[in-house]
Structure 1
């Protein structure tokens, strides 16, 4: 048995427990806990049973299991970056709106104070 087959399941259990405690403290949503738990369970399964990746790779027409895992990681990273981009874009738009409102309110208040 390889060392990664022991390390990844341990890391996975720690990560799942960490997400559950964050959920219980109200810092994560239930959907986040479920998605990350599924991710870490899949990582553990691929570490313990590497032949599963070959089976999934053949389902998608990929020749090697490692290629499948690398493509899967790129897809997950791309999705995460895209989601973060939309969050930052929305926050930037909200900040611009807030700054405009504060600037307009200050302009009115300055004119009132001068008179």
Structure 2
């Protein structure tokens, strides 16, 4: 086993421990945690069995395993960016809704003598 594989496996195990800790502390949802655990488990599998990249490249019809990983990574990154965009849009709509409700509530409530 090459030294890069050892470092990669150690890093992936460290990342998995962080994900599990985030799930336990309720800083990450279970569905997100499972996704990231799956990603890091795949990293370990690829590092332990590098020939799986060649099989993946053959299935996807690309020349090398590294190319397959790069193409798949780009697709996953675009998906994650889309999810972040959708979540941000949802939060913006919720914030606008709350601000409107507060503004309407403040408008209809009489002001106290101290506020002037």
Q: TM-score, normalised by structure 1?
A: 0.87
Bigger helix share? 1
Structure 1 spans left out of the alignment, 5+ residues: none
Shift of 1:47: 2.4
1:12-61 superposed Cα distances (whole Å, 9 cap, x missing partner)? 11111111122222222222222111101111222233221110111111
1:113 is matched with 111
Q: TM-score, normalised by structure 2?
A: 0.86
Instruction: Select the structure with the greater relative contact order (CA < 8 A; seq sep ≥ 6).
Output: 1
2:98 is matched with 98
Runs of 4+ in 1 over 4 A off after TM superposition: none
Structure 2 spans left out of the alignment, 5+ residues: none
Question: When the two structures are aligned, how many residues end up with a matched partner?
Answer: 112
Matches within 5 A, 1:1-16: 1-16=1-16
